[in-house]
Chains A and B, each alone.
Chain A
């Protein structure tokens, strides 16, 4: 059967003048590419002989101590302890930790500094110092404990499995949704010439589409999990103790002791 072939489709389309590339598309495609590249970049994690759950407790102790600390001497000791921990990291990883911490401090500082400055310089400096210690602890933790090890650690510490699952899926599917949005934007870019007409309407459509796609995907994922025996009942993993964990225990006892002593 021959289909009615339109006459205009037989001719070669004349090239039409293109306006400046759409800022909406180029900017968003560029931003998404950066975010996705960040997700894709394989983060190097130090293989440590310690348990993930003990590393997690150590992080909580360090952060709590940094937040509660009111004494400059104690703060200096805590910072020294943290810096000594960093010495075990390889050079490249150490640079990553310091770079990540510096970025996080700048962003946090910009957000809250005006409020702090109103309470005086001393408060601002003291607050920034404590924030630096917290962020340094978190960055160090990120480079010592892999995502997989962290999930196991949370199970070992009896954190609700629904919370762990939600966290795990959120991280994985943020990347997936980012990739989808990137493809959506590429599809729009390919069928547009220069500037986009009605970019706000287009943005609304893309967000709605992304919502529908993610909802559909979430339902399918849950169904697949249910079919494979997921029941929302907590699944615990036995605590495992490694000899190297004694070092972390000693460190935590020292920190808690110092804080209690000076309070």
Chain B
């Protein structure tokens, strides 16, 4: 589905990624792990079309990605959900994406109601997203992405600063989405929370390169130890 071939990205004054190569298959759940500043968020921004590689090739469905269309297919939940929510109510927030896609209003309402049911957002529906707690904002941000029905859902550090109850809820929802064929990509430092959720782990090192790519059920004790220390 996604293929990175020697992809590099350079910011104005720092290196984001340095010649990374790996692929992500459709319907797979993959965790991108690595120390702070290793390039996890840069990979996600490349995947959803916010950034373009400064070197190397990046393919989506075996074609050069059309960045305008890519954002219909990839949903991105930011690390800080509060900057992602900008509507007056949670209902408006959920409806924003489908309305921009040009769906009929009846379909928009149907999708919003379905997502409210899926994520149990009934009590939040008329509230202002800005005033919600961090966990509630994370759920609303996920919901606002899901109403667009993307094939791939990216979550940047989804468990950061969340209460345990919200972490468990998020894991449950992500597992359900994965079972229904969605491609899930997460970045996280939490080895124990992330491992049951994903099929493979891509690890980056401090030099912004891929350290190792391994299926979670084939991790060696040494790799487990390194992931625990992140």
Contacts and interface: CB of A to CB of B under 8 A. Distances in A.
Interface of A: 1-6, 8-13, 15-16, 18, 21, 37, 40-42, 180, 183-184, 186-194, 196-197, 202, 205-206, 209, 212-213
Interface stretch (B16-24, B146-154, B159-167, B202-210): B146-154
A9 B180 contact: yes
A220 to B, nearest CB: 13
B118 A191 contact: no
A6 B145 contact: no
Given A6-B115, A16-B101, A187-B83, 18 more contacts: A2-B176, A3-B118, A4-B117, A8-B111, A9-B118, A10-B180, A13-B148, A16-B102, A41-B12, A183-B78, A184-B83, A186-B50, A187-B85, A190-B48, A190-B71, A191-B97, A197-B100, A213-B130
A37 B84 CA distance: 22
Contacts of B148: 13, 191
B80 interface: yes
A13 B71 contact: no
Interface string B80-96: 10111111100000001
A190 B97 CA distance: 9
B180 A16 contact: no
Nearest to A13: B149
B12 A13 contact: no
B181 interface: yes
The 8 residue pairs across chains A and B that have the minimum distance between CB atoms: A6-B114, A13-B149, A192-B100, A187-B84, A191-B97, A183-B83, A18-B68, A4-B117
B68 A194 contact: yes
Interface in B136-194: 144-146, 148-151, 172-173, 176-177, 180-181
Contacts of B117: 3-4, 6
B217 interface: no
Contact of B86 (A8, A12, A187, A197): A187
B100 A193 contact: yes
Nearest to A3: B118
A9 B114 contact: yes
Given A184-B86, A192-B100, A197-B100, A13 B111 contact: no
- Chain B: number of interface residues, binned into ranges: 35 or more
Contacts of B173: 3
B222 interface: no
B99 interface: yes
B133 interface: no
B86 A193 contact: no
B187 to A, nearest CB: 16
A18 B69 contact: yes
Interface in B50-67: 50
A25 to B, nearest CB: 11
B72 interface: yes
B72 A16 contact: yes
Contact of A205 (B48, B87, B149, B177): B87
Nearest to B182: A9
B151 A209 contact: no
Given A5-B118, A9-B146, A16-B102, A189 B71 contact: yes
Nearest to B83: A183
Given A9-B149, A12-B151, A196 B100 contact: yes
A93 to B, nearest CB: 18
B96 A191 contact: yes
Contacts of A10: 180-181
B13 interface: yes
Nearest to A202: B86
B21 to A, nearest CB: 25
29 contacts: A3-B172, A4-B114, A4-B117, A5-B180, A6-B115, A8-B114, A10-B180, A11-B149, A12-B151, A13-B73, A13-B149, A18-B68, A18-B69, A41-B12, A41-B13, A42-B13, A183-B84, A187-B85, A188-B86, A190-B49, A190-B75, A191-B144, A191-B145, A192-B71, A193-B71, A193-B72, A197-B99, A205-B88, A213-B82
Contacts of B13: 40-42
Contacts of B78: 183, 187
B168 to A, nearest CB: 11
